Chain A
């Protein structure tokens, strides 16, 4: 679903496409297998746990019917998917083994002296490793912002998160960061508090 064609002026510096399954010509990755195995475990656990609510009660659909049915289906379907991926992986390895003397096509596709695709810079000039770190920082920042809500309130904590995101993750200047945070704060206060009257939590400090 993702990864549509790029347009506009930035198309000549299109972002790097990285998908777990998308290694050219390759089979499923370990992450794919682990993710599907986690789903299988989740389904199995839900089915077992759901059984306690009663699959059938007096011969009729019970509260546990849907959890058991869906959990069981997830477990079976995920197991089937793991088997399919395992077979595909084996076939890919056998294929690679046959092709080995010819050389790695991906390596051959990268001209000498250029960085590997994953090392290409994105539109912000970041490498793949830096983008990975940026995601971890965004996760952490959002989590920290939510933890701060009981103390400084929702509007302030989210505005603070915007400030740090623009300043630290996007490496913009302090003026741009403060302006972005202030614009968000003003928009949130005006629309959600003043116009819509949403009771946003102001936290223990009760500032906004």
Chain B
């Protein structure tokens, strides 16, 4: 392996590859910041530009766009509560709150550092474990996938706020909205009411642009607008305490993201929600989550980056895309006459190892770019909101159009914006809805496949050890807080009675 690593280093550090890697990560950061233009769109848009390059150079640049987008999407989530894609939604919870508390620079720095930590750890994991992990991932059948999704959905308890029932209801609304269009595994068109635009379903990126970006803008106007934040420079810089709190959360997020990113289709979004949920359970500062906690930025950001890197495992070693973006990258491999799969590591060692080493270099470039620029990016919040929000609405709607190049997405984003405003106003949490909407198609597909596997008996989920363990964990995750709250309520009057005489 050391020979291969040396070959990879030699390939990745050539001046040409370094230059294109830098161009890739810089472009990726800009694309990621624009709502709607996620990494998959960014890679697809710029694929034609790379056709004149050597295959390894082109793939290094395209991969650079991929992880550059992850950084960029985090910046817009933190600064203006406008997630670039679904895997950055969770960052709007604590990252945006940190920004509103005058700590935007620190939030951006935590985001960049935790991404970097995750990237380095997962890249080493990728180099060492690609083949065995890919093999393990292949053992995940529909029941196991269904169980993982149920566990993902159970993280709602961390997002539901004070009213768990309302949070679960919003997740159910998200699942219901995901059923619009042609059913997964069927030929029926559902809830389309004769509209051709609805046949392919509601684009979740357009919905999340509306819910978060437009909804947030309208909510700010309702609340009376935000004053420009003129934070002191020292508040914009990450502190030693931030780093101390960031590291354990980043490590937990990395582990979870790596495990989930390996599973084809499970993806970074699920990883970010689950890592946030995990922080809500085990984090030392879990009570601060939702108010601008460092852990609320570090964990989802690390898991996002870890999942993105781990999604290359099934892509490179099996030829199965681990995410939407790696599916586009898989297309790029084919364009250059390469066939990802078990033989790729043997036949193209310079390309594969050069690409893997370039991940390290690219992530280092992103850290060098983003860390000093964090306080500079944070200056965007000094722009008076009167000028900032028309610009947010402008780029949000342009981004909504660019998703599928159709005006119907504009109306979806607009409608979701109106919905998002009323949801915020009446305290209906938006994050569970997005989770339901994103996981819906995956849930339904695995549900249908599990049903077929068990000949109608969904209880086979309990007959297989892995799926049974995940399902039980999901049930416990939902029920435990309810039961604990009931126990606390029952104990409270007793304590009150005991304390009354002494009061």
Contacts and interface: CB of A to CB of B under 8 A. Distances in A.
Chain B interface residue bracket vs A: 35 or more
Interface string B395-419: 1011001100101001100100110
B139 interface: no
Interface in B208-236: 214, 217-219, 221-231
Interface string B353-375: 00000000000000000000000
B456 A81 contact: no
Interface SS majority for chain B = helix
B402 A198 contact: yes
Contact of A21 (B226, B391, B426): B426
Name, among B163, B176, B214, B447, the residue most crowded by chain A CB atoms within 10 Å (CB to CB).
Answer: B176
Name, among B386, B440, B452, the residue most crowded by chain A CB atoms within 10 Å (CB to CB).
Answer: B386
Given A139-B418, A146-B411, A154-B401, A65 B393 contact: no
Contact of A35 (B226, B401, B426, B456): B426
Contacts of B440: 66
Contacts of B31: 196
B190 A60 contact: no
A90 interface: no
A206 interface: no
A132 B411 CA distance: 22
A131 B394 contact: no
Nearest to B441: A66
A103 to B, nearest CB: 25
Interface in A59-95: 59-67, 70-71, 73-74, 77-78, 80-81
A10 B422 CA distance: 26
Contact of B451 (A3, A5, A60, A201): A60
A72 B484 CA distance: 27
Interface in A129-145: 131-132, 134-135, 138-139, 142-143, 145
B407 A201 contact: yes
A61 B447 contact: yes
Given A71-B176, A166-B390, A4 B100 contact: yes
B33 to A, nearest CB: 10
B176 to A, nearest CB: 4
Contacts of B188: 53-54, 63
Nearest to A145: B397
A10 B228 contact: yes
Nearest to B93: A1
Interface string A190-204: 011000111111000
A68 B411 CA distance: 26
B213 to A, nearest CB: 12
Interface string A136-166: 0011001101100110001100110110011
Nearest to B45: A196
Nearest to A58: B456
B132 to A, nearest CB: 33
Contacts of A109: none
B172 interface: yes
A155 B448 CA distance: 43
Contacts of B224: 15-16, 122-124, 126, 131
B425 interface: yes
Contacts of A78: 169
A176 to B, nearest CB: 8
Nearest to A13: B227
Interface in B21-45: 30-31, 34, 37, 45
Nearest to B443: A66
A78 B22 CA distance: 51
B281 interface: no
A180 B191 contact: no
B447 A6 contact: no
Contact of B176 (A2, A70, A134): A70
A135 B451 contact: no
A196 B102 contact: no
Contacts of A154: 397-398, 401, 407, 410
Contact of A124 (B96, B386, B401): B386
A172 interface: yes
A135 B218 contact: yes
Contacts of B169: 39, 73-74, 77-78, 81
Contacts of B219: 2
Contact of B292 (A4, A54, A73): A4
B426 A32 contact: yes
Nearest to B227: A10
A19 interface: yes
Interface of A: 1-11, 13-21, 31-32, 35, 39, 42-43, 46, 49-50, 53-54, 56, 58-67, 70-71, 73-74, 77-78, 80-81, 122-124, 126, 131-132, 134-135, 138-139, 142-143, 145-146, 149-150, 154-155, 158-159, 161-162, 165-166, 170, 172, 176, 180, 183-184, 187-188, 191-192, 196-201
Interface of B: 30-31, 34, 37, 45, 93, 96-97, 100-103, 159, 161, 163, 165-166, 168-169, 172-173, 175-176, 179, 183, 186, 188, 190-191, 214, 217-219, 221-231, 290-292, 385-387, 389-391, 393-395, 397-398, 401-402, 405, 407, 410-411, 414, 417-418, 421-422, 424-431, 440, 443-444, 447-448, 451-452, 455-456, 458
25 contacts: A1-B93, A5-B101, A7-B100, A8-B228, A10-B227, A10-B228, A50-B190, A60-B448, A60-B456, A66-B440, A67-B176, A67-B190, A73-B168, A73-B169, A73-B172, A81-B165, A124-B225, A124-B386, A126-B224, A143-B414, A166-B387, A180-B391, A196-B402, A198-B401, A201-B407
